[in-house]
Amino acid sequence: MPWSGYAPEHGRTKTRPGRRKPCLPHTEGHRLACPIPLFYNEPRVPGLFRRADRSACFLRGEGSLEERTNKKETGIFSTQELSDSPREECGVFGIYDFSGEEQVALTIYYGLLALQHRGQESCGIAVSDTDGPKGAVRSRRGMGLVNENFNAESLEGLKGNIGVGHVRYSTAGQSTIENAQPLVLNYIKGTLALAHNGNLVNAPELKRELARTGAIFQTTIDSEIIAYHVARARVDTTSVEEAVSRAMDKLKGAYSLVIMSPRKLIGARDPFGFRPLCIGKRGKAYILASETCALDAIGAEYVRDVEPGEIVTISPRFGIHSDRSHCIRSSKTARCVFEYIYFGRPDSEIDHVSVYNSRILAGKYLAMDSPVDADLVIGVPESGNIAALGFSMASGIPYGQGFYKNSYIGRTFIKPRQHARESAVQVKLNPLRPAVEGKRIVMVDDSIVRGTTSDRIVRMLRDAGATEVHMRVSSPPFLYPCYFGTDIPDREQLIAFGRDVEEIRSIIGADSLAYLSIDRLAELTGGLPICNGCFTGRYPVQPPTEDIRGSYDK
């Protein structure tokens, strides 16, 4: 099953001491016969472990993020590191224009721009022409943001009326071009392009099973395992949707999939519905997207959400055809509640529940359950702002802006030097002194994961003249890792693990600290069943017994 659509870097000439050297030249043709798998020669620097190391330092009491950063040599600093919120893994988008007149690449580009908040490490678009030769797929992938990788010229080259797109943040598999999506797979029945959001909990076991039968992997992501299973099942099924259904029999965990076959666009959501997926329509084109904000961005109307466990097949012959054979009882579904608290864009609706309203509610519950006398409520931009507004509505304390956020520094900037007085956090976020000076402040944030920035932000407010800083968090404390497509890490790295609220308050230096109560979570989604595993340790799916986030890279 040769892959197409991208060119993995074989034939590396440099290996680190102690590594097995690849057979050179490790060419595409040679690779198939070579006994050394591709991943022996991949760099072993998954971001997961780098992040883990940092947290370990913090929890050993070796200083704040900024202090640790200043101890390092000057280098490139990721602005993502300035946020202590968890990160989503991916966003997916697909479109099929039945009229055959529209070049869909530009629409996918706009859809991906709307989903950029779900992943900023890599992106890609794959398109095909349903009237052209079967299996002719044009694709382009790259590291970084959508608008850094695509321009009018590159989109012009992606001709076709059906296509899929993807934005990625890596939680399983390294952040490399090989792992960027959509994956494009050539096999005996044609070509598949696949975009995936989520994590499989049984990926290592499925991978071993495939490897035993001779599969050679080009990436270190579990999405490739899904693609392989669909392709294998397609060999002895009558349709690609049947092959997807057969593959879903084996998959465990979180997945929202958008798959392009030569003549069909397919969307599938795991039976628990961890990650969102919705359907839209614009003229004669049907769209699949992670969030409704992407439909708004391209002027499409919302049709409905793909139900947990549902497979939808979009084709001119049947319109939207649904297979619900994998759906489970609605009361057993388990949407990720953090999509509403933080991941989703506030202008999106997920399963008919407004993300904005969920955040307003979270703020209101905080104000009701953990009131405090104060003069001003502010949010930690941007993710804390809406819950802060909700807190203000319920408490009657005025809401205002307490920080200026620098939106122009991009994804990375040069790290402050050793002994430098510049603050990495303050480069991005600066308190508005006239707004906070002499005031008792309630500061609302969406979460505290490792506690790497909260102390600095509290200190910045005090330095700007705030007389009191009361922190309110619009989620419960993270006590357990997530295995379903986010980077919430192992327990040892979570600030709330083994500490009570008073101890955390003391670490971050706030006058008071309160979290959203676990009992309130279900109310945020209007009673829709949710996953709250990272807060309770009770997961809807049995957690993996192996490391699913780093093991592929070894």
Least Cβ distance, residue 520 to ligand SF4 (angstroms): 14
Give CA–CA dist 123/30, Å, rounded.
Answer: 29
90 a catalytic residue: yes
Q: Extract the annotated binding site for Mg(2+).
A: 383, 445-446
Q: Which is nearer to ligand SF4, 529 or 550 (CB)?
A: 529
Confirm or reject binding of residue 493 to ligand SF4 (CB under 6 A).
Answer: no
φ/ψ region of 77 (left if φ > 0, alpha if ψ in -120 to 50, else beta) reads beta
Stretch that binds ligand SF4, among 113-121, 165-173, 201-209, 482-490 (CB under 6 A): 482-490
Measured in degrees and rounded to the nearest 5, phi and psi for residue 486 equal -130, 170
Quick one: which of 484, 510, 513, 520 contacts ligand SF4 (CB under 6 A)? 484
Q: Extract the annotated binding site.
A: 336, 383, 445-446, 482, 531, 534
Whether 315 contacts 264, CB under 8 Å: yes
Least Cβ distance, residue 488 to ligand SF4 (angstroms): 6
Q: Which is nearer to ligand SF4, 97 or 307 (CB)?
A: 307
Quick one: which of 47, 262, 379, 533 contacts ligand SF4 (CB under 6 A)? 533
- Location of structure tokens 């807060």: 535
Q: Which is nearer to ligand SF4, 54 or 335 (CB)?
A: 335
Give CA–CA dist 389/380, Å, rounded.
Answer: 11
Confirm or reject binding of residue 488 to ligand SF4 (CB under 6 A).
Answer: yes
Stretch that binds ligand SF4, among 260-268, 345-353, 441-449, 528-536 (CB under 6 A): 528-536
Confirm or reject binding of residue 531 to ligand SF4 (CB under 6 A).
Answer: yes
Least Cβ distance, residue 418 to ligand SF4 (angstroms): 36
Q: Extract the annotated binding site for [4Fe-4S] cluster.
A: 336, 482, 531, 534
Confirm or reject binding of residue 482 to ligand SF4 (CB under 6 A).
Answer: yes
Confirm or reject binding of residue 548 to ligand SF4 (CB under 6 A).
Answer: no
The footprint of ligand SF4 on residues 293-352 (CB under 6 A) is 336-338
Least Cβ distance, residue 33 to ligand SF4 (angstroms): 41
Q: Which is nearer to ligand SF4, 129 or 339 (CB)?
A: 339
Least Cβ distance, residue 340 to ligand SF4 (angstroms): 10
Give CA–CA dist 44/49, Å, rounded.
Answer: 10
Least Cβ distance, residue 509 to ligand SF4 (angstroms): 27
Within 8 A by CB and 6+ apart from 534, the residues are 338, 478, 479, 480, 481, 482, 486, 488
Residue 283 forms beta bridges with which residues?
A: none
Q: Which is nearer to ligand SF4, 274 or 399 (CB)?
A: 274
Give CA–CA dist 288/295, Å, rounded.
Answer: 9
Confirm or reject binding of residue 534 to ligand SF4 (CB under 6 A).
Answer: yes
Within 8 A by CB and 6+ apart from 154, the residues are 140
Give CA–CA dist 445/456, Å, rounded.
Answer: 14
Q: Which is nearer to ligand SF4, 280 or 540 (CB)?
A: 540
Whether 293 contacts 287, CB under 8 Å: no
Q: Which is nearer to ligand SF4, 395 or 532 (CB)?
A: 532
Number of neighbouring beta carbons within 10 Å of residue 11: 15
Kindly write down the DSSP assignment for every residue of 182-211, as one continuous string.
Answer: -EEEEETTEEEEEEEES-BTTHHHHHHHHH
Least Cβ distance, residue 272 to ligand SF4 (angstroms): 9
Given the residues 23, 34, 57, 90, the one annotated as active site? 90
Type of residue numbered 318: F
Strands 376-379 vs 440-445: parallel, antiparallel or unpaired:
parallel
Q: Which is nearer to ligand SF4, 169 or 338 (CB)?
A: 338
C-alpha distance from residue 66 to each of 7, 144, 195 (Å)? 39, 24, 36
| Site size for ligand SF4 (CB under 6 A) | 12
Confirm or reject binding of residue 528 to ligand SF4 (CB under 6 A).
Answer: no
Confirm or reject binding of residue 457 to ligand SF4 (CB under 6 A).
Answer: no
Give CA–CA dist 554/544, Å, rounded.
Answer: 17
Quick one: which of 70, 107, 493, 532 contacts ligand SF4 (CB under 6 A)? 532
**Torsion angle defined by CA atoms of residues 273, 275, 279 and 285, in that order, rounded to the nearest 10 degrees:** -140
Confirm or reject binding of residue 486 to ligand SF4 (CB under 6 A).
Answer: yes
φ/ψ region of 230 (left if φ > 0, alpha if ψ in -120 to 50, else beta) reads alpha
Give every strand in the sheet of 137-143, ordered side by side.
137-143, 122-128, 162-168, 90-97, 285-289, 278-282, 301-305
Give CA–CA dist 482/447, Å, rounded.
Answer: 14
The footprint of ligand SF4 on residues 261-290 (CB under 6 A) is 274
Least Cβ distance, residue 274 to ligand SF4 (angstroms): 5
Q: Which residues bind ligand SF4 (CB under 6 A)?
A: 274, 336-338, 482, 484, 486, 488, 531-534
What residues are labeled active site? 90
